[in-house]
Amino acid sequence: MRQITKEKKVLYMMMSTYVTIHLQLLTLYYWIFGHNFCFHKFGKEPPGPKSLPLAGNLLQLDLRRPWKTLLELSKKYGSLYTIYLGPKKVVVLAGYKTVKEALVNYAHEFGNRDQMLIMNEFNQGYEMRRFALTNLRDFGMGKRACEDKIIEECHHLIGVIKKFKGEAFDSALLLYCAISNIICSMVYGSRFDYDDPVFFGKKHKKTHQTYEFHKLSAASRKHTLGLLSHLKETLNPDKCRGVVDAFLTRRQSLEGSGITNSHFHNENLLHTIMNLFAAGTDTTATTVRWGLLFMARYPKIQDKVQEELRRVIGSRQAQVEDRKNLPFTNAVIHETQRVANISPVSLPHVAHKDVTFQGHFIKKGTTVYPLLASVLFDESEWEHPHSFYPAHFLDKEGNFVKRDAFLPFSAGRRACPGEGLARMELFIFITTLLQHFRFTPQAGDELDLTPRVGLILSPSPHKLYTVSCM
């Protein structure tokens, strides 16, 4: 009997091991094949490539240019498909019709932001969006006063460029400081010289690597705290200079009423300011850089822009109201935004609730990536999607025409809130610079248009010559 018991134990152990291995194999099979063909009572989930346990589809992505892989996958799996970024499931929206339908017609279902980890850490969970936007408008955003500030900054920039006396220069830092000064004037109530020490915290090399991102955040935090300390010491509640003063005045009022646990505390102020600069500086400055690069790369197009500016405006300062009389220039600016494609993937959204979209079931909480590059280069919407072709925005008579598939600012309830300011800055900066200078490449430089990948797509490092036009 004792011998039989031992044999049974061995048999039980063998059976247990077999069952465990079998279950593991079934689990592996499910990860590799099963969840790619998942059905739900409300419909089939979006299709997608087979993925691996833990790694998901990461090994299939070109991590230097992931949006290109996403574009290629859309050609195989359609305008709505699923991928796994590690264990995280993501639904990708591709093509104008699908992106527009999701963000506009299904705005409630897909309108919420999905907080990326790195941005969660950076923001520390604080949100002052409504306060910031309201006060930015109070201090000029979208108004004539803001246009005057942009024009003033253009002339400061022109003065700095003239100091190069025709020598080749890299426009990256200059444009960054110039565009940053527009935000400075509304947030702090003043602009700064480009060589002012306050800008030292911003004169750094930007990168998408997490370690560098946090290091740069620390540097930006330090110099911002210095500015805030000075503004607090010189605060006059009866004469607010900018958003910071409005914030500090509101906090004083609340504290005077005995309220000490409001959202108006130092961390919220700091992160609100840093978010405003992050959102309102890099994207616009980078787009202007692309605009000047395209003009140097395509001199015949630059000729036509400058001819139109001379004929319509002459030597006076260009203003936003001139846009309607400058169809070719306006078309070139729009085409710059389209081809530059600086944000190929919109900030991630999340499904607000269970939804059946285009016949596919998407579960509540699923991350959704609107692929803006697929809209800006949609072959069914653009005649020459992969070329710099300003005629995309002109009719046969040469009049400017809007294009539905022009969505560089995304669409729907989560479209860029600073779109109006950005469009004003792009128009005034580009037209004013082209009124004063002709931009040309260095001898022998064909000006590589391959973007440099980071948090946004920026031009590869380059230098341009200028020839004075006035």
Nearest to 410 by CA among 400, 399, 422: 422
Calpha distance 82→195 (Å, rounded): 48
At 81, which helix (H) or strand (E)? strand 80-85
Residue with tokens 């085409």: 335
End-to-end CA distance of the chain: give it in Å, rounded.
108
- 42: helix, strand or coil: coil
Q: What are phi and psi of 91, to 5 degrees?
A: -100, 125
Angle between helices 282-297 and 327-340 (to 10 degrees): 110
Is there a binding annotation on residue 416? Answer: yes
Alpha carbons 270 and 274: distance in angstroms, whole number: 6
CB of 91 closer than 8 Å to CB of 367 = yes
> Residue 241: how many CB atoms within 10 A of its CB?
18
Q: φ and ψ at 81, to 5 degrees? A: -150, 165
Strands 88-93 and 367-370 come out as parallel
Both tokens assigned to 251: 């906090």
Which residues does residue 444 pair with via DSSP β-bridges, in sequence order? none
- Total Cβ atoms within 10 A of residue 298: 15
Task: With H, G, I as helix, E, B as strand and everything else as coil, classify residue 91.
Answer: strand
Tell me if 366 sits within 8 A of 89, measured CB to CB.
Answer: yes
What tokens does 24 get? 């593991």
Q: What is the CA radius of gyration of the chain?
A: 27
CA of 416: how far to CAs of 394, 408, 410, in Å? 25, 9, 7
* Token pair in block for residue 375: 């809209």
- Nearest C-alpha neighbor of 189 from the set 249, 279, 268: 249
CA–CA separation, 436 vs 66, rounded Å? Answer: 38
Cα distances from 179 to residues 277, 335, 420, 428, 463, in angstroms, run: 10, 20, 14, 11, 19
Binding annotation: 416
Binding annotation for heme: 416
